[in-house]
Amino acid sequence: MLLVTGGAGFIGSNVVAALNDSGRSDVVVCDLLGSDGKWRNLAKRQLVDIVPPAELLGWLEGRRLDAVIHLGAISATTATDGDHVFETNFRMSMRLLDWCTARAVPFIYASSAATYGDGEAGFGDDASLPALKRLRPMNLYGWSKHMFDLAVAGRVANGDALPPQCVGLKFFNVFGPNEYHKGAMMSVLARRFDDVKAGRVVQLFKSHREGIADGDQCRDFIYVDDVVRVILWLLATPAVSGLFNVGTGKARSFKDLMLAAYAALGTRPNIEYIDMPENIRGAYQYFTQSEVDRLCRAGYNGGFTTLEDAVKAYVADYLDRPDRFR
C-alpha cells in the first residue's frame, strides 16, 4: 500500500487522484475530514482507509508499505500556536522519518518555499547544513518546515541511517482544484474567481515597498498538476534522494495571475488595490522564484505549465463548472 498523509487536503487529494488514475487503489489517507467539506476532495476516489493522525502510529504497527508521501501539516502561514505547529509539522514528521528508516520504506515529504523567508539568502535548494542555516523563515509555518529540513540534513551530514529514498520538496505557490477548503489560504485566483466572472471589482494588495508597484508582488506560481507529476516521477525513480525546489523557475505577479483569469473568461479586468493589513506587512514576501536546476539535473524532464495555460485549464476544467472538484 501507499500512505498519503494530508491526503484529503489540496495537494494530497490531487496526488491520490493521480494514483487512482494510474491504476492504484491501494492508497491509505491519513487526515482529518472535519466539517468544512474536505471530504469532497476524495469523493471520486477509491481508498483502502482514512486514518486520523492521532491513530497513525498505532495503525503503522506491523504494516508494510511501498512508500510514504508525507504532505500532512498545519500549512497556514498565519498560524500562531507554536506548540501545536511544532508537534504537528516537526515531531510527527520525525516519527514518520524514523519509521520509514527502520523499515526501509521510501519517504517523500513536503517542505516549503516559506523556509526561504524574505529571499535575501536566495532560493537555491542546497541541502547542506551550512546553506540551510543561512535561511531565516518569516513565519511559524516556514520555521517548522525548516527545522525538519535541518534535521534531515543533519542526519545526512553525520552519515546516519535514512530511508532508501528520502526526498524533501520545497513547494512554491501551488494552485489548482481541491484547494477550496483552505479559506484565506486558498490562491487568490480561487478566492476571487466568482468576482472575476460576475464583473465585480477584484481587490489586490498595494505595495508597501519602494520600487515595487501595486500588484507587482511576485510569486513562483505552479499548477498542482505539475507538482503531482514530480511526485509520481519520484515514486518511479527510487534512486533519487535529496531536497528539491518545486516551482516553475519563473516569478510572476499577482496582477499577471488575475489578468490571466480575465483573459480565460474573455472579460474586462476590474482590479483595485487596497492597503495590506498591518499584521502581515512585516512577514510578507515580495518575491519568490525557485531554482529548479537541481531537480532537472536529477533527471526530471516533465516541464512546467505556463501561468496563462495553467489558469486557462483551472478555469475551464474546474472553476467555471458546477462541479469544481477533481
Binding residues for NADP(+), by number, are: 10-11, 31-32, 38, 71-75, 145, 174, 182
Q: Which grid coordinates belong to 105?
A: 520504506
Q: Is 222 helix (H, G, I), strand (E, B) or coil?
A: strand
Mapped onto helix, strand or coil, the DSSP state of residue 233 is: helix
Q: Report the distance separating Cα 291 and Cα 249, nearest Å.
A: 6
Of 222, 8, 244, 220, give the one whose Cα is nearest residue 108: 244
Picking from 15, 20, 193, the residue whose alpha carbon sits closest to that of residue 30 is 15
Per-residue buried b or exposed e for 37-60, using 16+ beta carbons within 10 Å of the residue's own CB: ebebbbeebebeeebeeeebeeeb
C-alpha distances (whole Å) from 89 to each of 197, 307, 319 are: 37, 30, 30
Give yes or no: 141 in active site.
yes
Which one of 109, 116, 141, 223 is the catalytic residue?
141
Q: Give strand pairing partners of 173.
A: 221
Strands (E), 136-262: 166-171, 173-175, 202-205, 218-219, 221-223, 242-246, 252-253
Known binding-site residues equal: 10-11, 31-32, 38, 71-75, 145, 173-174, 182, 184, 205-208, 219, 284
Q: How far is CA 225 from CA 15, 18, 80, 189, 221, in A?
A: 9, 9, 30, 16, 12
Residues near 49 by beta carbon (within 8 Å), at least 6 away in sequence: 28, 29
Whether residue 319 contacts residue 187, with contact meaning beta carbons closer than 8 Å, is answered with no
Lookup: cell for 312: 486557462
- What type of residue sits at position 277? P
| Active-site choice (182, 197, 250, 312) | 182
Determine the Cα–Cα distance for residues 10 and 94; give it in Å rounded to an integer: 22
Percentages (nearest 5) of helix, strand, coil residues in the chain: 40, 15, 40
Among all residues, which ones are annotated catalytic?
141, 182
